[in-house]
Structure 1
Amino acid sequence: MSAAATAVWGRAEQQDFRARVRGALLGGAIGDALGAGVADLGLDDIRTAHGPDGVGDFVSVYGRRGAVTAATQMTLFTVDGLIRAQVRRDTGAWHPPTDVHRAYLRWLATQRDWGPDERRKDNGWLAREEWLYSRRDPSRDCLTGLGDETMGTLESPKNPTARDAGALVRSAPFGLLVGWEPQLVCQLAVECAAQTHGHPTAYLSAGAFAVIVHGLARGESLDASVQRALAQLAARPGHQPVTDALRQALGAVRQGIPGPSRVAALGEGRHAEDALAIAVYCALVGEDIRHGLRLAINHSGPSHTTGTLCGSLLGALHGETALPPAWLAEVEGRGTLLELADDFAMEMTQGPALHGPAISAPGWLARYPRA
């Protein structure tokens, strides 16, 4: 977002934007945590363990209730990378995919190191959060795609056959760049997804998801946001599976009472486009956030994936105050999520007051170093 764009933010608009940013990040984390405890279970096994209605609350996983997976970890580092890109723009170095890639390399260090490297002063504050130093079932393709410092691109993507949702689940923050045009949001999400997931349906699903979140963060309806994503996909090679999945999700809304059978008809969610379709459908038909999230996690696919996506959509749509307080109170990393969400909102609305040719806030640059 340019300085010209930030100058038009009024107080009410800033408050609404911050609520939607918080909603998207916290909602995604809640959906992730709800699904994490049943991610490897089929629907029959979920019902056997949790009753005929399935799971409806956090269950213990990774040694605690409310624990999140690598989906939330990587989403946090996506936000960190986007803030760093804005800060580094002052130096004349403006290439957000590079800054996001560097952020993902900082995430990768949390998967292999025992704790923060205090010698790395350019890591910023997020990489010093000790609770993030825990491996939470990351996608194998995320690990291999970031296994060296060479950045995957659309021309030379990493893991060209990878079409799971490992890149999709970390892509909500691109949609929170509300000062950008939808086509630029889509392009950035696609380029950053190709850093680990090179199959067209994987990176185009990430682009479509970012555009949907973008519409919601701007105050549009979910249906209108999906239509905008479909329009963005139309000109991109390889879009048809993603387009078909989204159209199937829209059509399923009119096919009867929502339930697991409707979700199952959209796929298991193991491919990115199917996971996106399930999340969109559940967000569209959910009577409220609880209902939508329960629908998104009670199926035979990767429940943490579809829960993360659906939670991000509902959080961006309704804002943080609509999220169930009991889940908010218990979700892992809530303090970090809130702190990062507020930093993102402040950077995007008031960045020129924090850094620029004539202004330099030392505390901000210590949090988000330009190096």
Structure 2
Amino acid sequence: MSGGAGAVWGRGEQQDFRSRVRGTLLGVALGDALGAPVDPLTTAAIREAHGREGLTELAPAYGRRGAVTHHTQLTLFTVDGLIRAQVRRDTGAWHPPTDLHRAYLRWAATQRDWGPDERRKDDGWLAREEWLYARREPVRTLLLGLGDDTMGTPSAPKNPGEAGPEAAARSAPFGLLVGWEPQLVVQLAVECAAQTHGHPVAYVAAGAYAVIVHTLARGETLDTAVQRALALLASRPGHQPVSDALQRALGAVRQGMPTPERVTELVGNATADGVLAAAVYCALVGEDVRQGLCLAVNHDGPSAVAGALTGGLLGALHGETALPPGWLADLEGRPTVLELADDFAMEMTQGAALHGPAGASPAWLARYPRGGA
């Protein structure tokens, strides 16, 4: 698949890309929503609540079926930040981690404020979506990392001891930069993960997840995508726990029928490497999206984040039409997810026509302002 600045996209390529973008973002949200009601439960408790097969359909959380958590919220703000980075490039200011940090600070405001602040004209349209102003149990690490304007970096990260999977869970959109070289996708995901999660396990896992999505979005298989991630990680300091976890996921595929116990074993102590391994495993062994997502949430580990990671992989691999339509119908915020996905696809394929030397679309710059924090 072609891509990147100045690339010419055929109509078929554009349609395929848009389907994969939609599939990735909707997949993250569906997996997140499926896992949310059972997030703190063990396998035994899930079966007690939902029957012998465990959870097989969307169930109520936060007062409704299909409710998403902070994993989806932050994924959407990642997309918003990536579009804003492209738009700001016209000004000569090209530092995507800064634009992503600004986007994450806009998310942090949704966790503090009652609703959108109309005085903040530079916030853009996503920060004015009222449904996003809901606290869905964000981990303290996120709130601390984004609690002030100082941006963490890999050399001076926020929360240096934090190895959780939350940074990886917002990193699927980096993989949708299909015109970028894979190593640059890894580096951007790593730099943005360090803004909240400073342990190498957390930010290397985010980079690995992003480049797996990147390879899938370019039309390759999941096995190829994991092998590419392993090759790219090999020269990166601190990669070993993540590389070992991905190898365990590949090995588990050959160990017979998938079970919740095997997923629980891969998750381990629920750090980013183990949850990523479980997501890769569930995406590899699931016969379809529904089965893969159900496997990803029925275990002793954190169900919402495992579901979100798995959903992003399956959506990038299969595209939008493979997702269960009945689940999509109940998904919280689906119109917003689709609108943002289509904006991202349009920016990446036709951005030069929306803003550039030849002129700019006022409507586009109102949605994605060039300035502001």
Please report the TM-score for the alignment, with normalisation by the length of structure 1. 0.98
Letter in 1 for 2:6: A
* Corresponding position of 2:225: 225
Letter in 1 for 2:233: L
By how many angstroms is 1:268 displaced?
A: 3.9
Deviates more, 1:264-273 or 1:337-346: 264-273
Cα distance between partner residues in 2 of 1:68 and 1:178: 26
Letter in 2 for 1:331: L
- 8 A Cα contact 1:269 1:302, kept in partner: no
The structure 2 residue matched to 1:4, chosen from 3, 6, 15, is: 6
By how many angstroms is 1:270 displaced?
A: 1.6
Letter in 1 for 2:284: L
Are 2:297 and 1:297 aligned?
yes
Q: Which runs of 5 or more residues in structure 1 are unaligned?
A: none
Letter in 1 for 2:17: F
Letter in 2 for 1:107: W
Cα distance between partner residues in 1 of 2:109 and 2:197: 19
* Corresponding position of 1:172: 172
Deviations 1:323-343 (A, max 9, x none): 000001001000000000000
Matches within 5 A, 1:133-144: 133-144=133-144
By how many angstroms is 1:2 displaced?
A: 4.5
Cα distance between partner residues in 2 of 1:3 and 1:247: 35
Deviations 1:124-158 (A, max 9, x none): 00000000000001121111001110000011000
- 8 A Cα contact 1:269 1:306, kept in partner: no
Deviations 1:77-100 (A, max 9, x none): 000000000000000000000000
* Corresponding position of 2:51: 51
Moved over 3 A (4+): none
By how many angstroms is 1:321 displaced?
A: 0.5
Cα distance between partner residues in 2 of 1:3 and 1:98: 20
By how many angstroms is 1:76 displaced?
A: 0.2
* Corresponding position of 1:192: 192
* Corresponding position of 1:263: 263
Deviations 1:202-258 (A, max 9, x none): 000000000000000000000000000001110111100000000000000001111
SS in 1 for 2:166: coil
Q: Which runs of 5 or more residues in structure 2 are unaligned?
A: none
Cα distance between partner residues in 2 of 1:205 and 1:267: 13
Cα distance between partner residues in 2 of 1:102 and 1:28: 22
Deviations 1:85-129 (A, max 9, x none): 000000000000000000000000000000000000000000000
Cα distance between partner residues in 2 of 1:315 and 1:4: 27
Cα distance between partner residues in 1 of 2:153 and 2:81: 17
Letter in 1 for 2:325: P
Cα distance between partner residues in 2 of 1:321 and 1:90: 35
* Corresponding position of 2:13: 13
Q: Evaluate the alpha carbon distance shift between residue 212 and residue 2 of structure 1 in structure 2; reply closer, same or farther with a 3 A threshold.
A: closer
* Corresponding position of 1:124: 124
Cα distance between partner residues in 1 of 2:326 and 2:303: 20
SS in 2 for 1:100: helix
Cα distance between partner residues in 1 of 2:264 and 2:43: 10
Cα distance between partner residues in 1 of 2:244 and 2:355: 44
* Corresponding position of 1:333: 333
SS in 2 for 1:158: coil
Letter in 1 for 2:312: S
* Corresponding position of 2:30: 30
CA-based RMSD: 0.8
Matches within 5 A, 1:213-362: 213-268=213-268, 270-362=270-362
Cα distance between partner residues in 2 of 1:69 and 1:185: 25
By how many angstroms is 1:269 displaced?
A: 6.0
SS in 2 for 1:37: helix
By how many angstroms is 1:171 displaced?
A: 0.3
Count of residue correspondences? 369
- 8 A Cα contact 1:164 1:271, kept in partner: yes
Letter in 1 for 2:85: A
Letter in 1 for 2:172: A
Query: How many percent of aligned residue pairs carry the same amino acid?
Result: 73
Cα distance between partner residues in 1 of 2:207 and 2:197: 12
- 8 A Cα contact 1:268 1:302, kept in partner: no
Cα distance between partner residues in 1 of 2:4 and 2:224: 26
Cα distance between partner residues in 2 of 1:261 and 1:15: 39
- 8 A Cα contact 2:20 2:320, kept in partner: yes
- 8 A Cα contact 2:4 2:180, kept in partner: no
Q: Evaluate the alpha carbon distance shift between residue 22 and residue 269 of structure 1 in structure 2; reply closer, same or farther with a 3 A threshold.
A: farther
Cα distance between partner residues in 2 of 1:237 and 1:346: 36
Deviations 1:45-68 (A, max 9, x none): 000000111001111111111000
- 8 A Cα contact 2:5 2:179, kept in partner: no
Cα distance between partner residues in 2 of 1:346 and 1:60: 34
